[in-house]
Amino acid sequence: MTPESTLAARRTRPDARACPAARTLALAVGLAVAPLAVVAGGLTGMATEWTQLLNNAELGRLLGIETRSLATETKSLAVETRQLETELQALEIMRRNVRKLPARHVGNVIEPILRLRRIAGQAGSIAIDGRSIDSFLRSDLVTDPLYDRRGLDRAKLAESYDGWSTQWNASMETNLRQTGMTLEDVETEARLIDRIQSRMGTEEGQMQVLQGGNLVAASMARQLNDLRRITATQSEQTSIAWARRLEEMDRREAAERVHGTEVEETRGRLQSQGDGRSLNELFGVGK
């Protein structure tokens, strides 16, 4: 199993962002290759060229939105992980002040640890999605002459995602081992709950669970900050790569709007000055 898929493969159900991200990339590929299937000439060729320009602009906008989404979601996960770390620290302090946490607090311990497990799965999905997008954007499928991928080539984001995934999985395994657990223990939520509950019955077990949870949360928070830097760079470089194409499309669309407005204004003036005559009569059409 590859490093980037170790944790992702252990999720019991698809991550909330996995399907939308896959659809986005599939649509991007479709936009990139669709004009290649059209054989055009004459007026048809002109229409196809315009379709190609529209496809390229839509492709840039679509992937710009997706990379910004990756960066935003990573930031959100980092903040939530810090909050969960704070919750577990508070429970650990409470445990130090009493011999044993009351049974009613067991659920308070389990829930943040389960949420950390889900965040780990989401982070793995973000890394996989980001890598896939970068590989696509640095491929020969994107042929727009105004597209500039040099910044993406220098950033080597796919390689950064690979390195992050390797470190993420290694750190997770190491941290779990220090708490007396393995990756198999967190393979499913049910198994993880069983492992926690089996330890919460003793003073030593409670402290081990809380200290282990804090250790994992702190490590995850640090690495999510690393992932956040990668996704932020990807969002920035993707925007730069498509800037010229999007600016050109905006310029063309603005010119079209101005032209349309001028045509309507001219039509209105001619109609108001024509003494009720039609445009055909004014220009002598049909005579």
- Each domain of the chain, given as residue ranges in start order, spans 15-246
- How far is 67 from 239, CA to CA, in rounded Å? 9
- pLDDT tens digits along 263-277: 777 777 766 765 555
pLDDT of residue 13: 38
What does the pLDDT read at residue 281?
A: 59
Classified as helix, coil or strand, 278 is: coil
pLDDT of residue 270: 67
The pLDDT assigned to 26 comes to: 63
The pLDDT assigned to 143 comes to 87
Which stretches of the chain score pLDDT less than 70?
Answer: 1-51, 53, 250, 252-253, 255-256, 259, 262, 270-271, 273-287
40: left (phi over 0), alpha (psi -120 to 50) or beta: beta
pLDDT value of residue 106: 85
- Rounded to whole angstroms, the Cα distance separating 195 from 34 reads 52
pLDDT score at 4: 40
Tens-place pLDDT, residues 115-160:
999 999 999 999 999 999 999 999 988 888 899 999 999 999 999 9
Give residue 30's identity as a one-letter amino acid code: G
Say if CB 161 and CB 230 are below 8 A apart: yes
The pLDDT of residue 10: 37
Compute how many other C-beta atoms are within 10 angstroms of the C-beta atom of residue 118: 15
- pLDDT of amino acid 40: 44
pLDDT value for 255: 66
